[in-house]
Structure 1
């Protein structure tokens, strides 16, 4: 086999090559340039557009390969927005009219998503009416987001293209992009018009193995179409006439000559049901028929017709196909395009076929006009129409209803760890902000009651111009990203000034088009230039807000009406600006967290010399740190004492905003190891005595794999590795990734199909219903959602599930809602054989081995490969990991550890047992164990007498429950937590003890190394006179000099509760001691008044008691919030007679 290189997709001329959809679009440009050169045409290429899913990665791919483009004479010109990009491409068609060039022409590729096409339509209509040059050509790659997964609307761009008179192709798969693209350029030159290409997720976000010997179609020259090309000053009427009377007829002639739309052979002799499949629907229909048991369509009387140019269709070819069938069913997504053209073509024919598609013959709905046509929907529709013609089908496949299942939370998008929008989007209480386009629009998921509907990109601010005259409010806020500002948003600000409204624009400057991949902002200006632009437009006052305002104040020529603030003051700044008449602005300056992480990883900027660690023993689990930071890296974890918080070092971007949480548990480590993973020298060694056997080969045929995870954790990378490994092994492979906004901590999936001794030709890229062979659940929540369950099979599917569940974000609740694994297992077990589901705490394993969870996905891959569940050789996967080039050593090691997990799980788990088992969770298995555990903790906290008091109170409570015939286990365990938390008051002595404990010192040494220094972040009650602007006590950073002081304070715990206790006289300590006695009294009343049938109320009261947690004003607020409610529940117990117990009579 020839040596495989990553750039084979561009440089190799023959044979198979790994390629993605975006790479295919770039190869199209290279191939057009090479084809022109071979044909003696001295051309150049120009590509321009604006990124957006599903074409969000195209400009990144072009930028990575500028050398290859330049070698073929292709220029990549990123655009400020879509309409200017289209104008530039059309401008290049004019060079022979004005510029005396030395070349024959410029072929141009415009790219953009559905909203971008809408925006650029004026420019495209002018180009299409005006024409293109004979040796140029203009092709439009239009990205359609059919479900609105990463767009403000669900898009279908066909009608927009038709309105402008633009003919367009619809590639069926990745393999069609290059040949249809070449055909599109040829057609554009031939007919003198623009030609579109509809690109969807199933083509753009797909990877596969392309046969480079089949990427050049045979283009038939045909007759000249007349004066169809661009002229200098054609009048409007002539342009219209040429488009509709010359160019579009030339398109139809080209279509007929090339047989662009054609029957799929073989065709039946006795035609019953003809199916016209548009674009990717051809392969979806094929797989649906196979699932229905129809693998010989001709014998069943079914014929297929493939349409890859939906408009304008050569209606004669459709009519000729239709006349051979009793019924013709058109399968196309969303509103009918081909179906309506077919109906017009056959309406006057005698003996015409029945036309179905969106409706059945009786007028009932058949295929939906909205959303996507799934495999299940298509099977149902095909089964109905096949049965109408007595075509035998597999009945069980056609009617498979999902069993009733417990509901599970959706994993919605969330801001990245350290994202500036965690702070920048905060509002004063009661305010509503205008939503804009960009990552900050994720606020719509998080705080939907604080944000308006979307407008189009560039409409930011105009919403309020229309509302203001009729609103009871006198002022409004408007979010706008720096990318949108450069794209089109600047005019919205000018419009607001011109309208004389009172509003504040929040320009969220992070220096990247973060939503689509972190590209630089074309036409973007530094913040100080933006300030001068705003001042020139008449902005009254400009607030510059940043995480480091002191670094911005010098060295730049800011507008004179700028004032600088720290991000901690963002709410106060907005309140100040709200009181000012006219238009004001905030420029919030903080780099995109994901881009900072990428730059650190690539060595472009230094690693931030601080690491944040939470002392779990000090943490109360109140969540104030999560509220202050809104950060996904601050995760809830369960410990015997209840919920705590931890900083996930794999995710942490060192934004430091979590330090604002009012809690003494935070320490920062400076110096030492500041990376997010463990140094190699301290990692566990792979067992030298184990030789991993070669995996048992997977079965032959098509193998279907579904990978479910969270955005940013390597799911799409895993798919690419598997397809590259398939290329190395010489077998077939395709993968389609579904990401969109999911890259921002939402659910992301990949559907992978590998063909060992079988062909994937004619098959769709997605998995058919109930035909997944393997589920790799990198995230259990995503793995158990409804869409995934519909792909699983009770007898054939296998699954490996990551038992470590990341918390999900819930609107108005925050990032911290935990989904219980039993819910996941119940849902999976309803559609799979539970014996075929394997789960491990994969993230914990990865963290223990590598000091980071980033290798979790590859560990799971190693398990699946070793189990023989993936039809690939280990060597091929290893080679693919090396070719990937990222963290090669770690990934190869992770693959090996994953294989060991499959081969000898007990040995691996024993090796890592100390850290993979949930910490002290056995202590909570029964009341006696919980009492023993907490008593030991209280002995260390104070003394044995204090622990004895704990045991006396809790045993008395349990005895009373037993006497009342109330099941005690769950209630008693929760009661032990409640009492322990009330008695183990986190005073100065306890905080000092835990911050200097041997366990904690060992933990931070493992993270930062022994040469790091420790800083503490405290707000001692004795210093509570130091306040923040909001009146809360200010936290102070104390250096390592405090460590011996803390040790001394810890040794003085014997002073606690005595008359000489120096800390005992503060209001906070008095309140804590009073709360302890209140809790003991509550438990006494619950036990005294307990009776059979009241366990639910007792459980509710205990759960509320556990919510009284935190420090200082946070805990005080929780006391105020819950104490009255708890007392009310206890009061109902004391006044309510016990339920009548029939068994006792």
Structure 2
């Protein structure tokens, strides 16, 4: 009876344990049911060939296949559908018989072509299908790590093979920076990539199978090879003068490049180049904007702007391993986050412990979410599974706030068990290349993380700290790693971690320094914050300060008379929200960047370059001056390059601003200048007309009308296009206001 009673007691305890475990699991799963606040979708690397090669003529359609080009389906480029490796285009063979469309393009990488894609081309030829294969020769099997093609496949051999298959219509398009031997292609027509759209338009009219071989080396491979001295590294960089920049985003439209990052200023969001990630593709320069300057002899400042003397740091209490200690590492692909997982596993082996690690990085791209799961145990046999399951994470090393606060990551954590250190830097996503107003909800992401882990999460801007102390944000992940160890989240000795960093062999001294700086930053957050932002200029905060800033700005631009004209309208408005809208919108119209102002602003370029780079770089300005510029195939004026000698004419032109708006202004008769002056007159008339109609019902529409000029950004054709869109919005808003707010429209919502 006693034995039987003991069995029942043990069974009851087991049942209670199972129930408790299920309850804990249910609690951990709650994050999985929530909708993601933001997502870090995979994106092409900066300078990736696909940024250019996947562009299509208007009205065309393309298919994706296996390869990095698959990501174009998330980029609004009329590429839909995909198929298995070697089946590229085979789906169109069947679909074409039932479609009113006569032709499609099919993307195909050189690795897939070499594997089995050539069979799909042969099938399309046999079926007499109207299709153009765009074969990217990027000299790497990029999606799986950059291996060489088997058999040393090169672009001339691809051309020879498709010609032997029976393809008659073939063209080679290449990036002019590539070392292409035109003689190797025989009589096949050769075009620079600027002509890609024209080539595609012609090929779309061709009956049967045609092939465009596009030659541009994989950007990730360029970066790797340049580090090893195996690929030419041009002595050329792109710099954006943010004072000139209008924030129109045309550079992102032209390049689709994630190295173009936002720069917040009092006069709106501008653009800057992230020199740490730029792969020197230079297609951003095509953006119709005079703010782009190319530099030769410019060296990124690698020396820290601030020297930190790290005091003696206390040793943390290392956690006790109970079975396995489970670590989740998150970050952005291409920033070195995978290295942290490798160092962690290596350090565990040095300490005589078992370690199991797996990486979930998705495609071989920069910009996408990366998850690394690592289990550490006293004995290897204690590790039965590597993947960290729901609620099992003991430590979260967060290289990126977006990925760390995502439901996929939060579901692995559990309040009371998981400790975290996360980089709070606002790393922009690829969506910024297409949406000039795109904002990441970082406040909500931070709140979600803190709500989940309570007091067991530490956040600091490791990217800014790395730039300030080491000259490069690439060390931010190592800083977060050091901070996590200092917080007692890693059950490994300091000596083993230092040895593992040394064995990794990459920038050893700086990585060891980054690890120590991370330890210091998490212990002394206020000191770290002062180091990060020692020279930041405080922007105006109150409405009166913002108005005063703009009055002073207009005085520097034209004179006191223009500032008085601005103040007369703004100061007459009492409603705070409307007053702010008019203050911003009216200033935007009065301050149009004509030739005199662009010249005045470009005079400061050399000083701005000196702040970011070492040495005495050679400056080249990329401009499209009226009269002197030819019209390109896209109907837009083509840019020309002008050397540093232009700084003299800039000085002379800037002093001629007194001609602005007068009958003697030689630039005042252009269509763009006439448009800008008419917009000012129109705005003043609109405000005079609508301000007496201000009621609760019309308030939102009038505010939207007052802010509308902020959308008229850019230069030349870009500005004219934005003005046309704004004109349609203006009519909608005026209709709402004149009806007393009774109509519904996007403006009134």
TM-score, normalised via structure 1 length? 0.61
**Structure 1 counterpart of 2:619:** 1014
- The 5 Å alignment of 1:117-196 reads none
The answer (yes or no) to whether the contact 2:431–2:438 under 8 Å persists in 1 is: yes
**Structure 2 counterpart of 1:859:** 479
Shift of 1:728: 2.6
**Structure 1 counterpart of 2:189:** 563
Q: Quick one: structure 1 residues 571 and 1114, their matched pair in 2 at CA, closer, same or farther if it must change by over 3 Å? A: same
Shift of 1:871: 3.0
Distance 1:1044 1:446 in 2: 42
Shift of 1:618: 0.9
- In the alignment, does 2:614 pair up with 1:988? no
Q: Quick one: structure 1 residues 956 and 870, their matched pair in 2 at CA, closer, same or farther if it must change by over 3 Å? A: farther
Shift of 1:665: 0.8
Shift of 1:973: 4.1
The answer (yes or no) to whether the contact 1:415–1:422 under 8 Å persists in 2 is: yes
The answer (yes or no) to whether the contact 2:330–2:403 under 8 Å persists in 1 is: yes
Q: Quick one: structure 1 residues 846 and 983, their matched pair in 2 at CA, closer, same or farther if it must change by over 3 Å? A: farther
The answer (yes or no) to whether the contact 1:789–1:831 under 8 Å persists in 2 is: yes
Aligned mate of 1:782, from 378, 399, 403: 403
- In the alignment, does 2:336 pair up with 1:714? yes
Q: Which runs of 5+ in 2 are unaligned?
A: 744-749
The C-alpha deviation readout for 1:668-724, integer Å capped at 9, x for no partner, is 101232xxx5233xx235334x42313322332344332221111122111111222
- The 5 Å alignment of 1:358-377 reads none
**Structure 1 counterpart of 2:352:** 730
Shift of 1:1099: 4.9
Distance 1:297 1:1125 in 2: 75
- In the alignment, does 2:272 pair up with 1:652? no
Distance 1:1059 1:940 in 2: 22
Which is greater in Rg?
1
- In the alignment, does 2:99 pair up with 1:478? no
The answer (yes or no) to whether the contact 1:704–1:753 under 8 Å persists in 2 is: yes
Distance 2:69 2:241 in 1: 31
- The 5 Å alignment of 1:85-124 reads none
Shift of 1:445: 2.1
Q: Quick one: structure 1 residues 300 and 808, their matched pair in 2 at CA, closer, same or farther if it must change by over 3 Å? A: farther
Aligned mate of 2:427, from 806, 810, 815: 806
**Structure 1 counterpart of 2:491:** 871
- In the alignment, does 2:231 pair up with 1:587? no
- In the alignment, does 2:564 pair up with 1:948? yes
- The number of residue pairs the alignment matches comes to 735
Shift of 1:465: 1.8
**Structure 1 counterpart of 2:96:** 468
Q: Which runs of 5+ in 1 are unaligned?
A: 1-268, 271-295, 303-385, 963-967, 1140-1145
Match of 1:843, SS state, is helix
Segment drifting more, 409-418 vs 730-739: 730-739
Distance 2:283 2:600 in 1: 26
**Structure 1 counterpart of 2:156:** 528
Distance 1:391 1:851 in 2: 52
The answer (yes or no) to whether the contact 1:725–1:879 under 8 Å persists in 2 is: yes
Match of 1:617, SS state, is coil
**Structure 2 counterpart of 1:827:** 448
Distance 2:408 2:238 in 1: 38
Shift of 1:654: 0.4
**Structure 2 counterpart of 1:845:** 465
The C-alpha deviation readout for 1:4-43, integer Å capped at 9, x for no partner, is xxxxxxxxxxxxxxxxxxxxxxxxxxxxxxxxxxxxxxxx
The answer (yes or no) to whether the contact 2:306–2:531 under 8 Å persists in 1 is: no
**Structure 1 counterpart of 2:311:** 691
- In the alignment, does 2:612 pair up with 1:612? no
Shift of 1:1137: 6.2
**Structure 2 counterpart of 1:1002:** 607
Q: Indicate the structure whose relative CO is greater, using CA pairs within 8 Å and at least 6 residues apart.
A: 2
**Structure 2 counterpart of 1:542:** 170
Shift of 1:990: 1.5
The answer (yes or no) to whether the contact 1:672–1:1011 under 8 Å persists in 2 is: yes
The answer (yes or no) to whether the contact 2:375–2:383 under 8 Å persists in 1 is: no
Distance 2:683 2:667 in 1: 22
Distance 1:392 1:507 in 2: 57
Shift of 1:753: 3.4
**Structure 1 counterpart of 2:115:** 487
Shift of 1:800: 3.0
- In the alignment, does 2:726 pair up with 1:1122? yes
Match of 2:269, SS state, is strand
- The 5 Å alignment of 1:1044-1055 reads 1044-1055=648-659
Q: Quick one: structure 1 residues 586 and 895, their matched pair in 2 at CA, closer, same or farther if it must change by over 3 Å? A: same
Distance 2:211 2:35 in 1: 47
- In the alignment, does 2:55 pair up with 1:426? yes
Aligned mate of 2:37, from 408, 413, 430: 408
Match of 2:30, SS state, is coil
Match of 2:363, SS state, is helix
**Structure 1 counterpart of 2:71:** 442
Shift of 1:1112: 0.6
The C-alpha deviation readout for 1:301-328, integer Å capped at 9, x for no partner, is 99xxxxxxxxxxxxxxxxxxxxxxxxxx
Distance 1:937 1:811 in 2: 28
Aligned mate of 2:555, from 939, 942, 952: 939
The answer (yes or no) to whether the contact 1:858–1:891 under 8 Å persists in 2 is: yes
- In the alignment, does 2:515 pair up with 1:913? no
Aligned mate of 2:717, from 1113, 1126, 1131: 1113
**Structure 2 counterpart of 1:672:** 298
**Structure 1 counterpart of 2:254:** 628
**Structure 2 counterpart of 1:102:** none
- In the alignment, does 2:385 pair up with 1:746? no
Q: Quick one: structure 1 residues 470 and 686, their matched pair in 2 at CA, closer, same or farther if it must change by over 3 Å? A: same
Q: Quick one: structure 1 residues 698 and 973, their matched pair in 2 at CA, closer, same or farther if it must change by over 3 Å? A: farther
- In the alignment, does 2:517 pair up with 1:897? yes
Match of 1:855, SS state, is helix
The answer (yes or no) to whether the contact 1:505–1:585 under 8 Å persists in 2 is: yes
Aligned mate of 1:704, from 290, 302, 326: 326
The answer (yes or no) to whether the contact 2:263–2:270 under 8 Å persists in 1 is: yes
Distance 2:553 2:659 in 1: 18
- In the alignment, does 2:222 pair up with 1:600? no
- The 5 Å alignment of 1:493-504 reads 493-504=121-132
The answer (yes or no) to whether the contact 2:550–2:587 under 8 Å persists in 1 is: yes
Distance 2:354 2:452 in 1: 28
Match of 1:1021, SS state, is coil
Distance 1:460 1:691 in 2: 60
The C-alpha deviation readout for 1:70-92, integer Å capped at 9, x for no partner, is xxxxxxxxxxxxxxxxxxxxxxx
**Structure 1 counterpart of 2:633:** 1029
- The 5 Å alignment of 1:25-64 reads none
Shift of 1:860: 1.5
The C-alpha deviation readout for 1:179-228, integer Å capped at 9, x for no partner, is xxxxxxxxxxxxxxxxxxxxxxxxxxxxxxxxxxxxxxxxxxxxxxxxxx
Distance 1:1055 1:935 in 2: 20
Distance 2:357 2:687 in 1: 58
Distance 1:420 1:816 in 2: 26
Segment drifting more, 568-577 vs 849-858: 849-858
Distance 1:395 1:465 in 2: 52
**Structure 1 counterpart of 2:24:** 397
Distance 1:874 1:931 in 2: 54
Shift of 1:395: 5.3
The answer (yes or no) to whether the contact 2:420–2:484 under 8 Å persists in 1 is: no
Distance 1:837 1:1076 in 2: 51
Say what the alpha-carbon RMSD is for the aligned residues: 2.9
